[in-house]
Amino acid sequence: MRYISTRGKAPALSFSDVLLTGLAEDGGLYLPETWPSFSLSEWQAMRGLPYPELAARIMRPFVGEDIDPGTLRSLCEKAYTGFDHPAIVPVTQVEDGLFVQELFHGPTLAFKDMAMQLLGQLFEHVLTERNSHVTIVGATSGDTGSAAIEACRGRDRLSVVILHPKDRTSEVQRRQMTTVLEANVTNLAIEGTFDDCQDLVKALFADMPFRKDMHLSAVNSINWARIAAQIPYYVYAALNFGAPEQEVSFAVPTGNFGNILAAWAARKMGLPIRHLCVGSNRNDILTRFLNANDMTMKSVMPSLSPSMDIQVSSNFERLLFELLGRDAEACARIMTSFRATGHMDVPAEAWETARSLFSGLALDDAATEAEIKGLHDRSGYLADPHSAIGIAAGRRFREAGVPMVAMATAHPAKFPDAMVAATGIRPALPVHLADLYSREERYRTVPATADAVKDAVRAAVLSNA
Ligand SMILES: *Cc1c(COP(=O)(O)O)cnc(C)c1O
């Protein structure tokens, strides 16, 4: 399997190279050259498989020749051993025709673990084969950083440096990162905002000599391997509801468009998915696009669902490329002008195609809180603010005869203040994190300048050598 860039000017790469590279050289995102698909009997044969085995079957065509099937299966098994539910991705019914699939049973209590735990295994495997080492550098406003740190901790061939905005993440989120004390993990508290952190990471990657010297690599959600690793749970849910003979719909609380893109990919592979529902908070650019073909950037506003406080959904570029019939030149033109003008001109035909499959619903904080409370009153189910938005979108667009499955992307204990405000209940942290508030923390406070961050990265890599 080869991968091509959405902007058409970068070399085609294999799975392992795409894994290590992340963003394509031409600024585009990698996609498989052709979409693998499964036959009716192949889908049927996957029904009832344990999750890690199912994940290996789905990943196999994407990985291609790079990793042999037996090794891939054992990497998948190792990836999901740290999950605290035997089903890994359990599905619960909350209302007639409305179900919740919980993606937060991994070590950091958010759905990022689903892909990141497998990426940790894949990185270690590929780097061992190449006898190489990389330094993963990333910025986080909360969930991505802790998931990356958990996936990389203690791995010899990886150093991980995560920048977070000092005093601007929730305490649970910060402690999930800073209480990991392995030598290959470095936390930098940046004296600035999340945007500053992202700009600093970009500056580091733009410095080619530094990037080469330090073997920088990224695990943000533009990395294709993360999308691929998110496809299996959609397959798992759909098969359990009777696919491929029965249709199913999904509702997904959406930020960077990575999670829902994986659902779209599952459909592309032949899974009978009827409808995909995007849930947004007040940062509603995707909902505006779906409702009125209005993809106009506004400034990011804070909300109860911080992991969706995003204006530019990077992974949308992959869908756009497909909507344009894989016309890379048109895709590059539209993306460049979007960056320059803040407005994306999506051709009417492409927008119509998107609308026939996707719908969007945006909830402000008051509506999110009401959803958390109403759902809990009626069903006893406690949904965190992100999950609640997905559930509300699922209810809004559900149709008779088609099960609607909403993705629960974070454990409610990750957002205790929002839960108390909505329901009066403070959800307890799972056992493995119960002492989080009393663990030792380690991080360095660093001014928001590229030089200071580069020094910190050099020191981290040296001390880990
Ligand atoms: C990252 C995240 C999201 C958004 O997922 P995307 O793939 O960026 O659309 C939603 N909920 C939670 C809890 C997250 O951590």
Name all domains of the chain by residue range, CATH numbers in brackets.
91-106+224-423 (3.40.50.1100)
Backbone angles phi, psi at 276, to 5 degrees: -120, 125
| Residue 361 token pair | 């619903």
Q: Please identify, by atom number, the ligand 1 atom nearest to the C-alpha of residue 409.
A: 13
Cβ contacts of residue 218 below 8 Å, gap of 6+?
A: 22, 23, 136, 137, 138, 201, 205
Distance (angstroms) between ligand 1 centre and the Cα of 45 equals 31
Q: What is the dihedral of CA 148, 153, 159, 160, to 10 degrees?
A: 30
pLDDT number for residue 118 = 98
Residue 231 CA neighbour count, 13 Å, CB half: 24
pLDDT number for residue 205 = 86
CB distance 259 to ligand 1 below 6 Å: yes
134 neighbors 123 (Cβ within 8 angstroms): yes
Distance (angstroms) between ligand 1 centre and the Cα of 308 equals 6
pLDDT number for residue 432 = 87
CB distance 112 to ligand 1 below 6 Å: yes
CB distance 249 to ligand 1 below 6 Å: no
Distance (angstroms) between ligand 1 centre and the Cα of 130 equals 32
283 neighbors 345 (Cβ within 8 angstroms): no
CB distance 308 to ligand 1 below 6 Å: yes
pLDDT per residue of the chain (465 residues) written in tens, 0 to 9: 999 999 999 999 999 999 998 788 898 999 999 999 999 999 999 999 999 999 999 999 999 999 999 999 999 999 999 999 999 999 999 999 999 999 999 999 999 999 999 999 999 999 999 999 999 999 987 788 999 999 999 999 999 999 999 988 888 889 999 999 999 999 999 999 887 898 899 889 889 899 999 999 988 878 999 999 999 999 999 999 999 999 999 999 999 999 999 999 999 999 999 999 999 999 999 999 999 999 999 988 889 998 898 888 889 999 999 999 999 999 999 999 998 999 999 999 999 999 999 999 999 999 999 999 999 999 999 999 999 999 999 999 999 999 999 999 999 999 999 999 999 999 999 988 999 999 999 999 999 999 999 999 999 998 876
> Which of 199, 175, 196, 178 has the alpha carbon at shortest distance from 187?
178
At which residue do the structure tokens 């605290």 appear?
84
CB distance 143 to ligand 1 below 6 Å: yes
CB distance 410 to ligand 1 below 6 Å: yes
CB distance 110 to ligand 1 below 6 Å: yes
> Which of 90, 94, 88 has the alpha carbon at shortest distance from 392?
94
pLDDT number for residue 427 = 95
454 neighbors 462 (Cβ within 8 angstroms): no
> Hey, which of 102, 256, 280 would you mutate to test ligand 1's pocket, going by the most ligand atoms within 8 Å of its Cβ?
256
pLDDT number for residue 195 = 79
pLDDT number for residue 464 = 75
CA distance 365 to 399: 26
CA distance 363 to 370: 10
Q: Which residues of 100-134 are buried (b: 16+ CB within 10 A; e: fewer)?
A: bbbbbbbbbbbbbbbbbbbbbbbbbbbbeeeeebb
Q: Please identify, by atom number, the ligand 1 atom nearest to the C-alpha of residue 259.
A: 7
pLDDT number for residue 150 = 96
Distance (angstroms) between ligand 1 centre and the Cα of 70 equals 31
Distance (angstroms) between ligand 1 centre and the Cα of 455 equals 31
Q: Which residues of 296-330 are buried (b: 16+ CB within 10 A; e: fewer)?
A: eeeebeebbbbbbbbbbbbbbbbbbbbbbeebbeb
Q: Please identify, by atom number, the ligand 1 atom nearest to the C-alpha of residue 254.
A: 9
Q: Which residues does the annotation mark as catalytic?
A: 112
